[in-house]
Amino acid sequence: MNKIIVSIVLAVFLVLGINKIADSIFYVEKLEKSAYQVESVTTVASTASAEASSQTGNIMAIFASTSVAEGAKVFTKCAACHSIAEGGKNKIGPALWGVLGRQAGSLPDYKYSKAMAAHGKKWSFEEMNGFLIKPKDWIKGTKMSYAGLKSEKERAAVILYMNENTNNPLPLQ
């Protein structure tokens, strides 16, 4: 029993001694300021939002070059995860009937990601357009894994289609 205790004490002293010796050999002075500047989360988010905003352009001008029928075709890409019929059930994603003008993350019978629930904005034409470019960049932490719609015309068409699938369509001015 004594040999075990002495072995443990010796091992502790040996580890501490090697640590002290290594610290004295490999001494590094601390820098006055960090070599890498870390941006705050809000700065990164606002930068990403500004970049996406510059990509969104004026969605209202693009509406003239597309139609609701084209939007119905584009929506087939969304239909695997979302229903858009009145009274439609949630699928992997929430039901989208009446989504434009609604508060983001507000359907009571769907479990949204924390990021989407905290987003706090209403789905306007511009907000939906920015989101559809690349959802994970527009709302960091969203569960929506869709890569996005790169074509402005496709985004405008699907937004027109979503605006038609509601009891209260948003005015197109």
Query: Domains along the chain?
Result: 45-164 (1.10.760.10)
User: Tokens 């990021």, residue?
Assistant: 115
pLDDT band for 50, please (50, 70, 90 cuts).
very low
Q: Mind listing the pLDDT tens digit for each residue in 1-43?
A: 899 999 999 999 999 999 888 888 887 777 777 666 665 544 4
Q: Among residues 90, 53, 104, 96, which one has the least CA distance to residue 72?
A: 96
HSE at residue 32, side-chain half, CA atoms within 13 A, is 0
Count Cα neighbours of 122 within 13 Å in the Cβ-side half-sphere.
7
Q: In whole numbers, what is the pLDDT of the chain averaged over residues?
A: 85
Distance of alpha carbon 48 from alpha carbon 42, whole angstroms: 10
Q: Is the model's pLDDT at 85 over the cut of 90?
A: yes
Residue 55 has pLDDT above 90, yes or no: no
Q: Which residue type does 3 have?
A: K
Q: How much is the average pLDDT of 84-105?
A: 93
d(CA 105, CA 112): 6
pLDDT band, residue 134 (cuts 50/70/90):
very high
Q: How far apart are CA 42 and CA 66, in angstroms?
A: 35
What 3-state DSSP class applies to 122? Answer: strand
pLDDT confidence of 52, banded at 50, 70, 90? very low
